Structure 1
Amino acid sequence: MNQVKVKARSIKDIRELANLVRAISTKLNGEQDRFPIVTFLEKNLGEIDEDFSFGVLSKNKMGNNHGLTDPRDNTILIREDVYFNAINENGRDRFTMAHELGHYLMHTRDELVFTRNQIKLKSYEDSEWQANTFASELLMPEYLITKDDNIFTLMNRFGVSKSAAKVRLNKLGY
């Protein structure tokens, strides 16, 4: 398995991008704690970026891939079951869609470098770490989380999985 090395990005840089996306979504969809990821990918992003294409494919066509971002043709593809689960507010699947949006926004135009699995990438140069960090920042923005929050308040308010909420609270030091 190969890893993908990308332009180095800090958490601060990724957070600023996620906050910008939230601000755009607020203008288009109104203020909401629970980011409307399905609406943003299906409708909003195509209005902003005319080259963007969003597709939903069957499990037969996608295989084990829950989502794919193709930098060559500005496309995000989501597996059908993930898409329908995200519509039904499944936290893990909402995170998957936000993760793919992160790839699209940060890596589509980058020069991607494939490395062998034996080479340990610095996290800030790892495309998967960046996309996960973006998804976390987008779905659970730091400015909306307080010391009084816990795993269950994050799950309910932001529509994320238990594991995503736990990781987010740990990273913020709560």
Structure 2
Amino acid sequence: MMVEAMKYRHEFDMAYVELVDIVSILEFRLVERYPNFRLAIKADAEMREDALTEPHLDRITVRRSVYIAACENDVEARFTLAHELGHYLLHREKHVQMHKDQRGAVQDIAGMNADESIEDQADMFARHFLAPPSLAYQHKSDPERLAAVARIPLRIARGNITMSKWRESYSVRNQTGPSGTQ
């Protein structure tokens, strides 16, 4: 998902920015690429969930309070919108079932691995789209700073930093030969 997130950061001209304007992407940039796409804002009382992506209908629907919070840079709302963007971009061509039962409730997907779970895929996309590994590594000793700079939840900042350190360690190990030399 990191590769996909980085690809779309580049496509939306956000490759080198710290603070991704997720609202602008959903309102303006996505429709440039997918002319039939629509962002719908509904009254809170009309929705059971914070947001819903229907890739087959070219639509993301968001609860009004979540949309307003995202416009005000609320970290949870921003992550929610990035998660939905991930669903749209990753699953629009695949006709993926969104793991909803007949009542609209999310089914238990706990037994799936990250490759199978579209929810995990959308979460991984969102975390890397909002705070890519290079930014996480830059703030590797200060998760609070990463959270503030990228306007992401602290739990996501901590996880991204852990992943960036692991990737750096893995890269260094794999650049050396069997005896530790290059």
Same fold (TM over 0.5): yes
Runs of 4+ with deviation above 6 angstroms: none
User: Of 100, 104, 124, which residue of structure 1 is paired with 2:84?
Assistant: 100
Report the alpha carbon displacement of residue 170 of structure 1 after superposing the two structures with TM: 2.8
Question: What are the superposed Cα offsets for residues 43-78 of structure 1, whole Å, 9 maximum, x if unpaired?
Answer: 110011112111111111112x11100122110111
| Other structure's SS at 2:60 match | strand
* SS of the residue 2:52 aligns to: strand
Stretches of structure 1 that go unaligned for 5 or more consecutive residues are: 1-13
Equivalent of residue 9 in structure 2, options 7, 22, 25: 22
Richer in strand (by share): 1
CA contact under 8 A between 2:56 and 2:95: conserved in structure 1?
no
Residue equivalent to 2:31: 46
SS in 2 for 1:78: strand
Structure 1: distance between partners of 2:139 and 2:131: 15
Matches of 1:170 and 1:54 in 2, distance apart? Answer: 33
| Shift of residue 117, structure 1, vs aligned partner | 3.3
TM-score, normalised with respect to structure 1: 0.82
**Pair 1:168-2:155 in alignment:** no
CA RMSD of aligned residues (A): 2.2
1:123 aligns with: 114
Distance 1:68 1:39 in 2: 18
Query: Alignment length, in residue pairs?
Result: 158
Give distance in 2, aligned partners of 1:110 and 1:121: 18
Cα offset, 1:146, TM superposition = 2.2
Q: Does 1:33 align with 2:18?
A: yes
Identity of matched residues, %: 26
Q: Secondary structure at the match of 1:123?
A: coil
Q: Which of 1 and 2 has greater Rg?
A: 2
SS in 2 for 1:89: coil
Q: Residue 136 of structure 2 contacts residue 157 of structure 2 at CA under 8 Å; is this kept in 1?
A: no
Match of 1:83 in 2: 67
- TM-score, with length taken from structure 2: 0.78
